[in-house]
Amino acid sequence: MKNEYSSAEALAADPAFIEWVQHPTPTNTAVWERWLVQHPDRSAELNLARQLVTMWQLSPINPPADAQATVWAAVQAQKNSPVYPVRQHRPAPTRRRRTGALATVVSAVLLLVGTVWYWQTQPVVEYAGADEPRTVTLPDGSTVVLNTGASVRFPRHWSADEDRTVWLVGKAQFSVTHQSNKQRFIVQTPDQLRVEVLGTVFTVDEQERQTRVVLNSGRVRLHMAGQPKPINMVPGELVDIPANTRQAIVRRRVEPAVYSAWTTRQFIFDNTTLGDMADLLTQDLGYRIEFADSTLRNRRMTIHLPTRDPAILLAAIAEANDLTVSTVTPNHIRISPKL
Domain boundary among 254, 275, 306: 254
Is residue 285, in this structure, part of any structural domain at all? yes
Q: Same domain for 85 and 186?
A: no
How many whole angstroms separate alpha carbon 81 and alpha carbon 306?
A: 68
At residue 99, the pLDDT reads 53
Q: Same domain for 107 and 218?
A: no
At residue 73, the pLDDT reads 56
CATH number of the CATH domain containing 173: 2.60.120.1440
Number of domains in the chain: 4
Q: Same domain for 12 and 40?
A: yes
Closest CA to 24 of 287, 238, 207: 207
Is residue 230, in this structure, part of any structural domain at all? yes
Stated pTM of the model: 0.61
Q: Same domain for 139 and 99?
A: no
Give the three-class secondary structure for 322.
coil
Q: Same domain for 242 and 274?
A: no
Domain that holds residue 74: 67-121
Helix, strand, coil in percent for the chain, rounding step 5:
35, 30, 35
Is residue 218, in this structure, part of any structural domain at all? yes
From its phi and psi, is residue 60 left (phi > 0), alpha (psi between -120 and 50) or beta? Answer: beta
Is residue 27, in this structure, part of any structural domain at all? yes
The count of other CB atoms within 10 Å of the CB of residue 10 is 14
The count of other CB atoms within 10 Å of the CB of residue 210 is 19
Is residue 259, in this structure, part of any structural domain at all? no
Domain boundary among 103, 121, 139: 121
Which helix H or strand E contains 276, and what residues bound it?
helix 274-285
Closest CA to 310 of 293, 328, 286: 286
Q: Same domain for 140 and 114?
A: no
Average pLDDT for consecutive 10-residue bins of the chain (339 residues)? 67 81 79 78 77 58 51 49 39 52 50 44 79 90 91 89 91 91 89 85 91 94 89 94 88 92 91 92 90 94 91 92 92 92
Is residue 76, in this structure, part of any structural domain at all? yes
- Taking only the tens place, the pLDDT of each residue in 159-196 is 888 899 999 999 999 999 988 888 899 999 988 899 99
Closest CA to 211 of 251, 239, 245: 239
Q: Same domain for 82 and 167?
A: no
At residue 149, the pLDDT reads 84
At residue 335, the pLDDT reads 96
Contact partners, residue 82, CB within 8 Å, separation at least 6: none
Is residue 1, in this structure, part of any structural domain at all? no
Q: Same domain for 113 and 131?
A: no
CATH number of the CATH domain containing 288: 3.55.50.30
Q: Same domain for 170 and 199?
A: yes
- What sign does the CA torsion over 233, 267, 144, 23 have? negative
Q: Same domain for 130 and 249?
A: yes
Q: Same domain for 235 and 129?
A: yes
The count of other CB atoms within 10 Å of the CB of residue 20 is 22
Closest CA to 202 of 185, 214, 186, 190: 214
Domain boundary among 121, 148, 167: 121
How many whole angstroms separate alpha carbon 314 and alpha carbon 225?
A: 37
The count of other CB atoms within 10 Å of the CB of residue 107 is 10
Closest CA to 310 of 295, 332, 291, 339: 332
Task: Please list the residues that pair with 255 across neighbouring strands.
Answer: none
Q: Same domain for 143 and 196?
A: yes
At residue 35, the pLDDT reads 81
CB 273 within 8 A of CB 300: yes
- 162 burial (CB, 10 Å; 0-12 / 13-18 / 19+) is exposed
The CA radius of gyration of the chain, in Å to the nearest whole number, is: 27
